[in-house]
Amino acid sequence: MWQYPHLAVILLALCGGAQAQPLLAEPIRPLPATATVDPARAALGRALFHDLRLSRDNTQSCATCHQLAHGGADARPRAPGAPGGQALRNTPTIYNSAFNFRQGWIGRYRGADQVLEHVMGTSPPAAELVASRLTGDPVMSAHFSRVYGEDISAALVKDALANYLKLLVTPSRFDRYLRGDKAALSRDEKSGYAKFKSYGCVSCHQGINVGGNMYQKFGAMREPAPDAAIAADQGRFELTGRAADRHMFRVPSLRNVALTAPYFHDGSVATLDEAVGAMFKYQLGRDAPLQDQAQIVHFLQALSGETMPPRGALP
């Protein structure tokens, strides 16, 4: 059913109408106010996140590309791959990623369990490789035995990272609005949200992450020219080999999107205004008055976290 975004909106509207709570009438859900994680494990995960040994050639940490001060992404169109290898896609934000139904632009990974693969490769298995590198380090060993009471292992590396990622949640003014604080958004931002819904952006960008819960084709209503650079990436087809998956991508989360330029899987678009314009053209197959587009951009800016977590707050 997700092939038909407009149908999805109708279904959501029906489901929303059947609920008693006013909150549920909205197709977007607020982020939880608190995260349930083990602070000691998350602190260990945070140390790992900044550790260069978590890249294949020991030159980059997770934070090199997923920069916490740059909306959880970086400013490059594409991330460099392993030396001599292929460039990766654009770096998506690390914030709120735990709420995406799959990880990565084409949904290749199923969560923190597998996501190490995009920096470490699959052979030998990424987490085993990290664990074996860290085992010789007495400081790390001491951390692991203090936190887990066990020696370093692949499973514990993944668990510590997963705990940290769950902490990287960025509630915004829009979340306050969804919880009933009508003054949390300006008039323009509210109009932008209304237009985000009425034009149908919300048929794809919805749920807790304003995206991140379905696959959609890039070019749903109008395909980019076959020779356009953006059309070169085959999307989920790369993974499944099914013709129907050509140019299918996981719909990205729009949380913090004002902070994560450049845009799209190939980072080919420099500004949010252009990205919104491209969505009208390719995903909705229509044009819209510039004022409406500008209001939608205002709304998207209100999705930036008010409190960006934690840089120094952890034990």
Query: Could you list the residues that contact ligand HEC (CB under 6 A)?
Result: 5, 54-55, 60, 62, 64-66, 79-80, 88-89, 91-92, 94, 97, 100, 103-105, 115-116, 118-119, 161, 199-201, 203-205, 216, 218, 220, 249, 251-252, 254, 257, 260, 263-265, 275-276, 279-280, 283-284, 296
CB of 113 to ligand HEC, least distance (A): 10
CB of 3 to ligand HEC, least distance (A): 9
CB of 164 to ligand HEC, least distance (A): 8
CB of 85 to ligand HEC, least distance (A): 10
Residues in the chain: 315
From 189, 166, 201, select the one nearest 95 (Cα to Cα).
Answer: 166
Measured distance CA(56)–CA(170) in Å, rounded: 29
Residue type, 245: D
Q: Residue 180 or residue 241: which is nearer to ligand HEC going by CB?
A: 241
CB of 105 to ligand HEC, least distance (A): 4
Contact status, residue 10 vs residue 197, Cβ threshold 8 Å: no
Measured distance CA(98)–CA(91) in Å, rounded: 15
Q: Residue 18 or residue 311: which is nearer to ligand HEC going by CB?
A: 311
Q: Output the CA torsion sign for 68, 71, 73, 74.
A: negative
CB-based contacts of 311, cutoff 8 Å, min separation 6: 68, 69
From 278, 247, 250, 285, select the one nearest 263 (Cα to Cα).
Answer: 278
**HSE-CB for 5 with a 13 A CA cutoff:** 25
Q: Residue 6 or residue 180: which is nearer to ligand HEC going by CB?
A: 6
Region label for 222, one of left (φ > 0), alpha (ψ between -120 and 50) or beta (otherwise): beta
Alpha carbon of residue 113 to chain centroid: 16
Q: Residue 38 or residue 273: which is nearer to ligand HEC going by CB?
A: 273
CB of 251 to ligand HEC, least distance (A): 5
Q: Residue 171 or residue 252: which is nearer to ligand HEC going by CB?
A: 252
Q: Residue 149 or residue 289: which is nearer to ligand HEC going by CB?
A: 289
